[in-house]
Amino acid sequence: MPRGGEVGDELERAREAAAERRLVVAAVGGSSAAFEELYRRHAARVYGLCLRMTGHVATAEDCTQDAFVQAWRNLARFETRSAFGTWLHRIAVNAVLQHARRRQESLGAEDSAEREVADVLPDSSAADPGRARDLEAAIASLPAGARHVLVLVGVQGYSHEEAAQLLGIAVGTCKAQLHRARALLGARLGMTEVKHGVE
Amino acid sequence: MGSNEREAGAGDRLDAALQALPPGIDPGRDLWPGIAARLEQAPVTASRRPPAWLLQAAAAVVLIAGSSLLTAKLLDGDRAAGKMAEVAPIAGSTPGADGIATMPASFGPAGRMDPEYVAARRQLTSVLESRMARLPASTRAKLESNLAELRRAADEINAALAEQPGDPLLEELLLKTYQDELAVLANVNQLTSSLANAAASPGDAKRMEL
């Protein structure tokens, strides 16, 4: 027997999905105003994903814009088995990977990204803003492969199978990258000692 | 505490810190103007979806299952409450061994849902809505407001389908919306069917709050 709270959550999810379907239908019909509303609803999550995956503000802005343009272009192919936000995230991850391939990001660019990410984080991002900033900066300083997996699995909550599919890597590689990312993060935050070979 | 335990504790703290990060970060500036400028050069491309007949076959299966499941829950709920629902037989329905009706459903030539399915849905919805009167006022108001959003969506998708009959994306969106509505109503039915017992134990009324 479901509890009222559970039904309420289900109802809220259904209402939200219905509201988004109305916007998708209008956008497919050519309404940029409806698509702007979809942007307003999802911009923060898409940008957050891009910023953490790239570690670079300007690149994250580019990828966010690319993702929404791609979504607009492919709206008629929207996969309705998932929520619009899930579909959009997949496009955003692709935008980040395409950008990385195009630019062949250099180590120097990543170094400057660390400072940039730490500077743009909101003060209220966690109960302990200082620690959250340290954590974000440490994430930004990770090697790209480890960072991508950590963001998708550790922050966004994707399974290894989902993350591996999104990133185009083997599940084993995904697990190894997460292990590496956690070890590096723990060491950089002073929580653990870095083990030989992880760096 | 051994080094393995210390590492495990640190790992747990790290995982907790990662999961506590907000999923979204507001961009420092509004990125929409840059997107809007590019939309004009990037029209929405045509759908590349399975042919309509394939989708219709899938839709029929999904809606038959959805309809019979809902009917089953409806009847189960009433048995639990000690009384049977008076659901009139629906023309064209196929009674199963347990008396549960299954409804064929598909999209018709005008891109509309099968009329028999629409009639069955209307009847089930009507029965369930009458039960909503048993819910506390605040719960009912919340439920009605949220269901109204689902029905607005269905109406707008139907209107779009009338203009673009057979559009696969619109048909999928309509199906999803009806499925969500039926799922919500089925859950509400389960809640309301326990209200008689809730009267005997007032603490259970709390369970009805959404």
Q: What is the ipTM of this complex?
A: 0.82
CB distance A27 to A38 below 8 Å: yes
Tell whether A83 is covered by a domain. Answer: yes
Tell whether A189 is covered by a domain. Answer: no
Taking only the tens place, the pLDDT of each residue in B3-17 is 666 666 777 888 888
Q: Is the pLDDT of residue B175 over 60?
A: yes
Count residue pairs from A and B with Cβ separation < 8 A: 198
Q: Is the pLDDT of residue B53 over 80?
A: no
The segments of chain A whose pLDDT lies below 70 read 1-4, 104-130, 192-199
CB distance B107 to B166 below 8 Å: yes
- The helix or strand, by DSSP H or E, that contains position A125, with its residue range, turns out to be none
Please state the domain count of chain A. 1
Q: Do A122 and B190 touch (CB under 8 A)?
A: no
Q: Name the region of B105 (left: φ>0; alpha: ψ -120 to 50; beta: rest).
A: beta
- The helix or strand, by DSSP H or E, that contains position B102, with its residue range, turns out to be strand B101-102
- Predicted TM-score (pTM) of this structure: 0.73
DSSP helix/strand/coil, A62 = helix
Closest-approach residue (CA) in chain B for A188: B14
The alpha-carbon radius of gyration of chain A (Å, integer) is: 18
Tell whether A6 is covered by a domain. Answer: yes
d(CA A87, CA B155): 24
Q: Is the pLDDT of residue B87 over 50?
A: no
Tell whether A100 is covered by a domain. Answer: yes
Which domain covers residue A87, as residue numbers? 1-105
Q: How much is the pLDDT for A42?
A: 97
Tell whether A11 is covered by a domain. Answer: yes
If you average pLDDT over residues B27-39, what whole number do you get? 95
Q: What are the boundaries of each domain within chain B?
A: 50-208
Residues of A in contact with B25 (CB under 8 A): 44, 47-48, 51-52, 120-122, 125
Q: Is the pLDDT of residue B108 over 70?
A: no
Q: How much is the pLDDT for A50?
A: 97
Q: Could you tell me if A47 lies within 8 Å of chain B, comparing CB atoms?
A: yes
Which of A31-35, B70-74, B80-84 is least confident?
B80-84
Confidence grade of residue B120 (pLDDT, cut at 50, 70, 90)? low
Taking only the tens place, the pLDDT of each residue in A116-128 is 554 555 544 444 5
Say which of A5, A19, A51 has its CB closest to residue B25: A51
- A 10 A CB-CB count for B149 gives 19
A87: which 2 tokens?
């579909």
Tell whether A153 is covered by a domain. Answer: no
Say which of B18, B43, B157 has its CB closest to residue A155: B18
Tell whether A71 is covered by a domain. Answer: yes
Q: Could you tell me if A79 lies within 8 Å of chain B, comparing CB atoms?
A: no
Q: Is the pLDDT of residue B57 over 70?
A: no
Q: How much is the pLDDT for A193?
A: 62
Q: Do B44 and A135 touch (CB under 8 A)?
A: no
Which of B34-38, B69-73, B94-98, B169-173 is least confident?
B94-98
Say which of B21, B44, B209 has its CB closest to residue A30: B44
Q: How much is the pLDDT for B117?
A: 63
- CATH, residue A18: 1.10.1740.10
